[in-house]
Homo-oligomer: A and B are copies of this chain.
């Protein structure tokens, strides 16, 4: 039975879409300003840019919560269940509901404070000086705590999580981390007993940036990254960003001239995000349906290309000779290279962590964030708490705060609640990759030839094109055949690292 939609409701719906398109344009403009701030903006621009971003955030917020928007949402009727329009209305109503609880002043303040905090964070990290950043961390955290106070949540941290993974909760994540901890900690212990010489030697040497960049570009071109709808620049903290649709999806990376893995895996990771954004149905552009559905699903795409693809044997059987073309000094033995990119080695920096210890870095952050939101931990005590947890979970204490509590940009930009998305992403990446290979077994042999078209096609069809249409859990169930589940991920880690380290 078709839903009866009056002419008035249709007109309201059309006006609503116009209004949402304008709001989307303002957010996109803010994204361009954020991209520029992190890539090319000179130092003198910091303060002005913070004001510009604050004004755009306030304007978008005011348009979203205005009585006119509320009336259009109320008057737009109901759409055919399951249709794009129904999903659009559901998302718009949710966003409107959430935003309506927040004062415009708080939104603008948060935007301004995070823009300034990010500039100071870059500086503080350079100098490894926590005291420079601490007052900005205090400010940002207090604004985000205030935000949590305005929003509903069983736990104050739930409101942070909800922004990045609708439907998630502190309780649910605690459950997930308990399962992972139970599986990963003993595995790390077993592997550590087998670790002999440093397996990462093949990745160390002298690698000029131009060569690294060209190799990275080749790799992600073969993945299917479309350069006519994107570009790659340098940034202190690599990221992927899009401007309202699949037409302009950019990535950034950074280089270590003495360690090959840094730029290569950052590039593959960000390209994974970008492939998702480039694959969203273009008709969703400038609507609430545009973009990836949650950061958890987003990280499933980045981690899939970074780990399941670029840290696999089939990948290296194709790219090893190409890497040697670029850097002839690279080791001749492809198996040694495969072992190098998968070496388990407790490390200070999350983005450089191996797959096995990676989630312990996230666990640490998750626990610290929960403690900050429970007001169980003061900002002043963060470096010490960080180092204590690093020692407990990863077995090392960072040499300084640049290698510790200051390493990530997330807190500076107010992204509390984001980190768990990486672990959710790891879990989902294995479910999705295995579903893809099960349904399209030619994916693995194609990877050996440096071809990724079938894999990308499957992801486009089952994940990317849907944008935000389905709730994250629904999307995963539709694509992978079952809801999010840690078992396949733990099985994958056990099998892969058991074989790599000769465990029984």
Chain A contacts to B: CB under 8 angstroms: 21-22, 25-26, 28-30, 32-33, 35-36, 40-49, 51-52, 54-56, 58-59, 226-231, 233, 243-248, 250, 285-286
Contact = CB atoms under 8 A, between A and B. Distances in A.
A203 to B, nearest CB: 30
A50 to B, nearest CB: 10
B52 A243 contact: yes
Interface centre among A42, A52, A231 (most CB of B within 10 A): A52
Taking each of A40, A44, A55, which has the highest tally of chain B beta carbons within 10 Å of its own beta carbon? A44
A59 B22 contact: yes
A21 B51 contact: yes
Nearest to A23: B55
A286 B32 contact: no
Contact of A248 (B21, B49, B229): B49
Given A32-B32, A33-B32, A36-B32, A25 B44 contact: no
Contact of A25 (B36, B52, B246, B248): B52
B231 A48 contact: no
A51 B25 contact: yes
A45 B228 CA distance: 9
B48 A248 contact: yes
A284 to B, nearest CB: 12
A26 B28 CA distance: 13
Nearest to A248: B45
Nearest to A246: B44
A30 B226 CA distance: 26
A140 to B, nearest CB: 21
B26 A59 contact: yes
A128 to B, nearest CB: 23
A55 B36 CA distance: 20
Given A26-B59, A32-B33, A33-B29, A244 B42 contact: no
A252 to B, nearest CB: 12
Given A51-B21, A55-B25, A248 B286 contact: no
Contacts of A22: 55, 58-59
6 contacts: A21-B51, A28-B52, A40-B40, A42-B229, A49-B248, A51-B244
A292 to B, nearest CB: 17
B243 A42 contact: no
A265 to B, nearest CB: 24
Contacts of A42: 227-231, 248, 250
Given A29-B32, A51-B244, 5 more contacts: A29-B56, A42-B228, A42-B230, A43-B229, A49-B248
A26 B60 CA distance: 11
Contact of A230 (B44, B227, B230, B286): B44
A276 to B, nearest CB: 16
A49 B231 CA distance: 15
A81 to B, nearest CB: 30
Contacts of A55: 21-22, 25-26, 29
Contacts of A47: 247
A228 B227 CA distance: 31
A29 B52 contact: yes
Given A40-B231, A231-B40, A52 B226 contact: no
A30 B59 CA distance: 14
Contacts of A244: 48, 51-52
Minimum-distance CB pairs A-B, first 3: A44-B229, A45-B248, A25-B55
